[in-house]
């Protein structure tokens, strides 16, 4: 309460008011500082040194301190400070190493008072003592800090940081004798002004230069530092060892840091590069800025709170040659835009989801989590101003547990392991994969594979013929399904049943029933493809669409029908090359019969009639690119269903047949998601195979990144840092081949039982004839 009283008096005596406003300077500024009465601000830079009066709604230039025709480098300011006791007194740090003081009370135009040229390098910072009128401190690039008594012509004491350069010096506001200095090498030193020989304490605050530091105005122990490592840290200096109590990670190196008056946990920062905004952080909530000022167009170089006891006004100067007064109430609050929602998967597939309470109300299914509200309840106890604190968001945490059976991805793992992607003729790959899919009760996928083989195989290939003969028993069904494959999955499962098992009749008679069953099965086996119901409805619809489409485009339809029917009557194909008029005539018949087949039971006679109708349309030279659009659609369909495994496997197996049809980016996308999935399931071998087989350069190079393997020396057990075969420390060759006794520099294989080993080839050769370890240890090594 005592503090509150003081605040009111301070504000009462000279009430600060104004609005967000700015003025153009003629040149970029390097630093700004305010007068004690908060009515004037001084702006200093390489080519500017002016005083502005802050009025109600504008800045008014009061005085230009840069006088003389040829301004010297002493005017080129790196830093400026207005004395907080004497409003006529200013000090600047010049880039040429001069420290200059200015007395505004001087009658003449040139207000320069004293000039100290003791520093050899650029002076980065000047600082007046908060209570002592004549004491000035400077910190320079040459690694020295100097304390000046303004009544004397030269410095009274020099402090050597024993380090490259001083970036900031700040007198402690509470301790009369103490000041802090921050250094380019990441250290912060505390000095007693009476003891120039040695610092009181030193600690490493940042990795890389510490650009700025600021003492907390109220709490004597707190020092905030900002560095090139993009961090702002708050240190508690009251303990023996400086303790880091808060740390804020920003997005760019921190150029300035200033505690916000009257707010214990707030500080303002601006950055050195790239980022132009000024942030005000609540150090206890380091992830999101409390407030942001986004007015500047170039990096902000100086920030200062206008009044010592008023948290509402911030002044800032920038490289974009503007001077701004920011009103705190006009600041953007990033937290308002943030979604207070979180989502996370648990180890066993549980899903936790937290969201705003208002959004979640009405959800009957939830069970609120017992964790409770973990925010800071007594935050701003004194001033319950709603604009001055983080918005209270009460959120609800929901945890969804998964039932193990439902979401099992067993099929995925098994499929990944069993699929063959290369190494055999195309047709065999397809057959194999179809079989795998069928065994895993994924009839649609299985059918797709069969279909692919049929589409792309060369009918002359005996392997293919063999494959066809297996399916050939029910050609009509196949022909029908060919049409549907692009659209949905309903009909394929039918095909699968009829093809796979020897009971075609009852299935077709009890068609709807079997579909329903199938649906259930789908849900079980392919959890991710949940909305199977939906698809079935869709399939029916699309059937109709398909008809109309096929009427427009009969040839395309014909090609669906052809390949498998060609088989039984192959000799005829050669004799009767396709006749266009014939084709026109018979164009619709396949669906008609197809429809029949669907509704009526399937008889051999019908199917034969179909074949005879269809066969003349066959063209043995049908180019595979004919199918490309269809296959493209299939691919897309699977990808959209979330079955990226199928999409990628198709892509790889089809290889060049389809690759050019699909744009690189999509391919890359598919590959990355599949590889990612495989790696999550720890299917490293499969993922590597996929990476190897992919043709996208972006994917291929995945295998070339981070190929480092770290090993330890077998003698001294230390990590071998640079070479795999000789140890730095004990200078011994670590891996010697047990067979040839030479150093192994390539592939090294060893027995896990006796840990002897050697060149891969040698060991292979050795173990082909012998079973004992080549090192003679008597172990019976196994090589697999």
Selected range binding other proteins among 92-100, 379-387, 392-400, 487-495, rule: CB under 8 A: 92-100
User: What is the CA angle 755-756-759, rounded to 5?
Assistant: 125
- C-beta closer to other proteins: residue 621 or 722: 722
Find the binder of other proteins among 129, 216, 228, 326 (CB under 8 A): 228
Kindly state the smallest distance separating residue 59's Cβ from other proteins, in Å: 23
- 750 close to 725: Cβ distance less than 8 angstroms: no
For 558, the 3-state DSSP assignment is helix
Q: How far apart are CA 294 and CA 2, in angstroms?
A: 36
Residue 181 backbone zone (phi > 0: left; psi -120 to 50: alpha; other: beta)? beta
Selected range binding other proteins among 451-459, 494-502, 635-643, 718-726, rule: CB under 8 A: 718-726
- What is 283-339 written as a DSSP string? TTSTTS-SEEE---SS-EEEEEEEETTEEEEEEEEETTSEEEEEEGGGSB-HHHHS-
Find the binder of other proteins among 20, 58, 88, 96 (CB under 8 A): 96
Binding characters for other proteins, 364-393, by CB under 8 A (x = yes):
------------------------------
Find the binder of other proteins among 26, 57, 728, 782 (CB under 8 A): 728
693 binds other proteins (CB under 8 A): no
Kindly state the smallest distance separating residue 274's Cβ from other proteins, in Å: 6
Single out the residue of 494, 513, 503 nearest to residue 447, CA to CA.
Answer: 494
How crowded is residue 36: how many other Cβ atoms within 10 Å of its Cβ?
15
For 65, 115, 128, 253, 691, the CA distances from 45, given in Å and listed in that order, are: 12, 18, 19, 20, 56
Q: How many residues belong to the chain?
A: 784
409 binds other proteins (CB under 8 A): no
Kindly state the smallest distance separating residue 198's Cβ from other proteins, in Å: 23
209 binds other proteins (CB under 8 A): yes
- C-beta closer to other proteins: residue 78 or 90: 78
617 binds other proteins (CB under 8 A): no
Kindly state the smallest distance separating residue 707's Cβ from other proteins, in Å: 11
- What is 116-148 written as a DSSP string? E---SS-EEEEEE-SS-TTEEEEEETTSEEEEE
Residues 6 or more apart whose Cβ sits within 8 Å of residue 535 = 488, 489, 490
**Tokens standing for residue 647:** 């999409």
Kindly state the smallest distance separating residue 154's Cβ from other proteins, in Å: 10
Find the binder of other proteins among 95, 189, 486, 617 (CB under 8 A): 95
Selected range binding other proteins among 69-77, 191-199, 233-241, 652-660, rule: CB under 8 A: 69-77
38 binds other proteins (CB under 8 A): no
479 binds other proteins (CB under 8 A): no
Render the burial of 678-717: b for 16+ CB within 10 Å, e for the rest: beeeebeebbebbbebbebeebeebeeeeeeeeeebbeee
CA–centroid distance for 473 within its chain: 53
184 binds other proteins (CB under 8 A): yes
* Secondary-structure breakdown of the chain: helix, strand, coil percentages, each rounded to the nearest 5: 35, 25, 40
Selected range binding other proteins among 88-96, 351-359, 477-485, 650-658, rule: CB under 8 A: 88-96
Edge-first strand order for the sheet with 291-293 is 254-259, 266-271, 278-282, 291-293
- C-beta closer to other proteins: residue 205 or 631: 205
Single out the residue of 270, 284, 252, 263 nearest to residue 217, CA to CA.
Answer: 263
Q: Residue 587 carries which DSSP code?
A: T
Query: Half-sphere exposure (CA, 13 Å, Cβ side) for 470?
Result: 18
- 353 close to 343: Cβ distance less than 8 angstroms: yes
- Give residues 431-460 in contact with other proteins (rule: CB under 8 A): none
85 binds other proteins (CB under 8 A): no
Q: How far apart are CA 734 and CA 725, in angstroms?
A: 6
- C-beta closer to other proteins: residue 599 or 706: 706
- Distance separating the N- and C-terminal Cα atoms of the chain: 80
709 binds other proteins (CB under 8 A): no
- C-beta closer to other proteins: residue 232 or 487: 232
72 binds other proteins (CB under 8 A): yes
How crowded is residue 23: how many other Cβ atoms within 10 Å of its Cβ?
16
Selected range binding other proteins among 216-224, 272-280, 364-372, 423-431, rule: CB under 8 A: 272-280
- Give residues 543-582 in contact with other proteins (rule: CB under 8 A): none
Selected range binding other proteins among 143-151, 667-675, 701-709, 736-744, rule: CB under 8 A: 701-709
- C-beta closer to other proteins: residue 139 or 467: 139
Single out the residue of 214, 255, 228, 221 nearest to residue 127, CA to CA.
Answer: 214
Q: Total binding residues for other proteins by CB under 8 A?
A: 40
735 binds other proteins (CB under 8 A): no
Selected range binding other proteins among 5-13, 207-215, 512-520, 652-660, rule: CB under 8 A: 207-215
- C-beta closer to other proteins: residue 336 or 663: 663
How crowded is residue 479: how many other Cβ atoms within 10 Å of its Cβ?
25
- 203 close to 244: Cβ distance less than 8 angstroms: no
- C-beta closer to other proteins: residue 103 or 700: 700
- C-beta closer to other proteins: residue 610 or 736: 736
Find the binder of other proteins among 4, 15, 60, 73 (CB under 8 A): 73
Binding characters for other proteins, 301-340, by CB under 8 A (x = yes):
------------------xx--------------------
Find the binder of other proteins among 36, 46, 424, 435 (CB under 8 A): 46
Kindly state the smallest distance separating residue 418's Cβ from other proteins, in Å: 34
Selected range binding other proteins among 16-24, 294-302, 388-396, 471-479, rule: CB under 8 A: 294-302
- C-beta closer to other proteins: residue 121 or 333: 121
299 binds other proteins (CB under 8 A): yes
- Give residues 100-159 in contact with other proteins (rule: CB under 8 A): 117, 119-122, 141
261 binds other proteins (CB under 8 A): no
- C-beta closer to other proteins: residue 502 or 722: 722
Q: How far apart are CA 475 and CA 450, in angstroms?
A: 13
- C-beta closer to other proteins: residue 93 or 430: 93
Kindly state the smallest distance separating residue 710's Cβ from other proteins, in Å: 15
Single out the residue of 322, 282, 313 nearest to residue 269, CA to CA.
Answer: 282
User: What is the CA angle 350-526-406, rounded to 5?
Assistant: 40
CA–centroid distance for 77 within its chain: 41
- C-beta closer to other proteins: residue 680 or 723: 723
- C-beta closer to other proteins: residue 94 or 602: 94
Find the binder of other proteins among 722, 752, 769, 784 (CB under 8 A): 722
Residue 681 backbone zone (phi > 0: left; psi -120 to 50: alpha; other: beta)? alpha
Helix locations, 569-708, DSSP H: 570-575, 580-586, 589-599, 604-614, 628-641, 644-654, 656-659, 664-680, 684-693, 697-700
Selected range binding other proteins among 261-269, 296-304, 494-502, 732-740, rule: CB under 8 A: 296-304
For 77, 183, 226, 465, 548, the CA distances from 167, given in Å and listed in that order, are: 14, 5, 11, 82, 78
747 binds other proteins (CB under 8 A): no
Interface positions with other proteins (CB under 8 A): 46, 70, 72-74, 76, 78, 94-97, 117, 119-122, 141, 184, 208-209, 211, 228, 252-253, 272-274, 276, 297-299, 319-320, 701, 705-706, 722-723, 726, 728
């Amino acid at each position: 309460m005592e503090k509150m009283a003081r605040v009111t008096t301070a504000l009462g005596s000279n009430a600060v008011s104004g609005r967000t406003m700015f003025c153009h300077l003629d040149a970029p500024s390097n630093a700004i500082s305010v007068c004690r009465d908060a009515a004037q601000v001084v702006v200093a830079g390489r080519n500017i040194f002016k005083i502005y009066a802050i009025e109600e709604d504008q800045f008014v230039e009061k005085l230009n301190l840069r006088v003389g025709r040829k301004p010297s480098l002493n005017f080129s300011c790196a830093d400026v400070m207005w004395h907080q006791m004497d409003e006529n007194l200013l000090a600047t740090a010049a880039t040429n190493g001069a420290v200059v003081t200015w007395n505004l009370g001087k009658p003449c135009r040139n207000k320069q008072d004293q000039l100290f040229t003791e520093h050899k390098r650029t002076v980065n910072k000047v600082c007046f003592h908060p209570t002592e009128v004549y004491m000035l401190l400077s910190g320079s690039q040459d690694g020295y800090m100097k304390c000046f008594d303004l009544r004397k012509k030269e410095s009274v004491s020099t402090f050597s940081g024993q380090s490259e350069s001083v970036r900031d010096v700040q007198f402690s506001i509470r301790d009369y004798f103490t000041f802090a200095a921050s250094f380019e090498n990441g250290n912060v030193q505390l000095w007693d002004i009476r003891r120039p020989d040695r610092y009181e304490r030193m600690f490493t605050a940042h990795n890389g230069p510490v650009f700025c530091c600021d003492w907390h105005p109220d709490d004597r122990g707190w020092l905030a530092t900002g560095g090139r490592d993009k961090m702002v840290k708050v240190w508690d200096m009251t303990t023996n060892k400086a303790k880091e109590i808060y740390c804020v990670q920003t997005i760019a190196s921190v150029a300035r840091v200033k505690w916000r008056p009257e707010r214990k946990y707030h500080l303002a920062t601006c950055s050195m590069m790239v980022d132009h905004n000024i942030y005000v952080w609540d150090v206890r909530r380091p992830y999101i800025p409390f407030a942001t000022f986004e007015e500047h167009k170039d990096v902000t170089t100086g920030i200062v709170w206008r009044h010592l006891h008023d948290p509402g006004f911030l002044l800032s100067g920038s490289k974009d040659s503007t001077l701004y007064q920011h009103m705190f109430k006009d600041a953007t609050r990033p937290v308002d835009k943030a979604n207070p929602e979180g989502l996370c998967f648990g180890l066993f597939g549980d899903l936790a989801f937290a969201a705003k309470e208002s959004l979640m109300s009405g959800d009957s299914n939830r069970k609120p989590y017992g964790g409770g509200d973990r925010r800071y309840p007594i935050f701003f106890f004194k001033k319950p101003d709603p604009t001055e604190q983080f918005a209270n968001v009460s959120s609800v945490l929901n945890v969804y547990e998964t039932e193990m059976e439902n979401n099992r991805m067993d099929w995925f793992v098994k499929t990944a392991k069993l699929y063959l992607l290369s190494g055999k003729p195309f047709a065999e790959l397809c057959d194999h994969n179809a079989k795998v899919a069928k065994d895993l009760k994924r009839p649609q996928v299985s059918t797709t594979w069969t279909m692919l083989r049929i589409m792309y195989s060369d009918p002359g290939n005996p392997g293919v013929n063999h494959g066809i003969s297996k399916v050939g028993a029910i050609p009509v069904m196949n022909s029908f399904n060919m049409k549907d494959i692009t659209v949905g999955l309903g009909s394929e499962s039918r095909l699968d049943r009829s093809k796979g098992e020897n009971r075609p009749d009852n299935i077709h008679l009890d068609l709807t029933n079997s579909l329903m069953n199938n649906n259930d099965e789908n849900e079980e086996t392919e959890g991710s493809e949940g909305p199977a119901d939906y698809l079935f409805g869709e399939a029916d619809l699309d059937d109709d669409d398909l008809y109309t489409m096929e009427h427009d485009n009969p040839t395309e339809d014909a090609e669906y029908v052809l390949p498998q029917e060609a088989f039984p009557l192959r000799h005829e194909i050669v004799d009767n090359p396709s006749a266009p008029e014939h084709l026109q005539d018979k164009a619709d018949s396949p669906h008609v019969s197809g429809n029949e087949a669907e509704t009526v039971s399937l008889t051999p006679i019908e199917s034969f009639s179909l074949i005879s109708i269809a066969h003349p349309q066959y063209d043995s030279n049908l180019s595979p690119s004919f199918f490309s659009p269809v296959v493209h659609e299939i691919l897309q369909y699977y990808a959209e269903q979330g079955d990226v495994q199928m999409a990628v496997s198709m892509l790889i197996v089809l290889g060049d047949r389809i690759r050019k049809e699909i744009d690189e980016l999509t391919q890359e996308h598919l590959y990355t998601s599949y590889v990612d999935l495989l790696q999550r399931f720890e299917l490293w071998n499969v993922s590597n195979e996929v990476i190897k087989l992919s043709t996208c350069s972006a994917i291929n190079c995945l295998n070339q990144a981070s190929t480092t393997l770290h090993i330890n020396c077998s003698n001294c057990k230390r990590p071998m840092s640079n070479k795999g075969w000789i140890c730095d420390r004990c200078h011994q060759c670590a891996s010697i081949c047990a067979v040839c006794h030479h150093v192994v520099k390539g592939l090294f294989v060893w027995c896990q039982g006796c840990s002897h080993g050697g060149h891969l080839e040698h060991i292979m050769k050795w173990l082909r004839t012998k079973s004992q370890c080549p090192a003679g240890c008597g172990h019976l090594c196994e090589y697999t």
